[in-house]
Every structure is written in C-alpha cells, then in structure tokens.
C-alpha cells in the first residue's frame, strides 16, 4: 500500500476511490516505511481541486485494479503533480513483478 501525505493529511486510492485520513490512520495502520519525494508549493486549495478532478476521472473507485491501476499508480501520479518527482520504481514495478512469477 502507498499513499501521499501532504497538507497534514494522508491521501490514498482503493476500490472506494480517493480517500483521506490523518497520517498513519488508514485501516492498515502506520506505514512500514516512508519515502520522502520532496516538498510542494502547490496550495491546499489547488491540490484539493486536482484531487476532485482525479476522483471524477482516472481514480474513480470502479477504476481500481489491484495489479494495473492501484494505490501505487495514484501515489505516483500525485507525487509528480506535487513535486515533479515519481515514487521509486521498486514500488511501481512490484505488481508486474508479482504477475510475472
């Protein structure tokens, strides 16, 4: 599971669409590890507008697919919007590695 913490909240994507909670507050509990992808100058207002548009298009709940369009896809997309950086490939490549075994 991956998520993005920004503006004092944690945002993630699953079969229910885009959700948020206090950092470390998902049903999965605190993260096993944290990867710093940088800081952002995107305001909270702009970010929330962006999330709303994603939730109505690419990241609707019914678009979720465990191996092809998942929380990693969402985290990577949002990280690029916020910082211009992707999340590490060892994370985004994991589903295809699992499928190839």
Per-residue model confidence as pLDDT tens digits over 2-11 = 999 999 999 9
pLDDT for res 96: 76
Q: Is 71 a catalytic residue?
A: yes
- Dihedral sign for Cα 91, 92, 94, 95, please: positive
pLDDT (tens digit per residue) in 48-70: 999 999 999 999 999 999 999 99
Q: How many CB atoms lie within 10 A of CB 41?
A: 7
Q: How confident is residue 29, by pLDDT bands cut at 50, 70 and 90?
A: confident
Domains and CATH numbers, the chain: 4-99 (3.90.1720.30)
Q: Are 14 and 61 in contact (CB under 8 A)?
A: yes
Which of these is catalytic: 1, 7, 21, 69?
1
Looking up tokens 């605190």 gives 30
Mean pLDDT of the 36-43 span: 97
pTM of the model: 0.93
Q: Is 69 a catalytic residue?
A: no
């Amino acid at each position: 599971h991956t998520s993005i913490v920004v503006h004092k909240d944690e945002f993630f994507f699953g079969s229910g669409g885009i959700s948020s909670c206090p950092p470390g507050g998902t049903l999965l509990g605190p993260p096993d590890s944290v990867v710093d992808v940088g800081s952002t100058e995107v305001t909270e207002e702009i970010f929330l507008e962006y999330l709303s548009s994603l939730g109505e298009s690419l990241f609707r709940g019914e678009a979720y697919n465990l191996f092809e369009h998942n929380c990693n896809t969402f985290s990577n997309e949002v990280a690029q919007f916020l910082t211009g950086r992707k999340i590490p490939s060892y994370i985004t490549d994991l589903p295809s590695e699992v499928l190839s075994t």
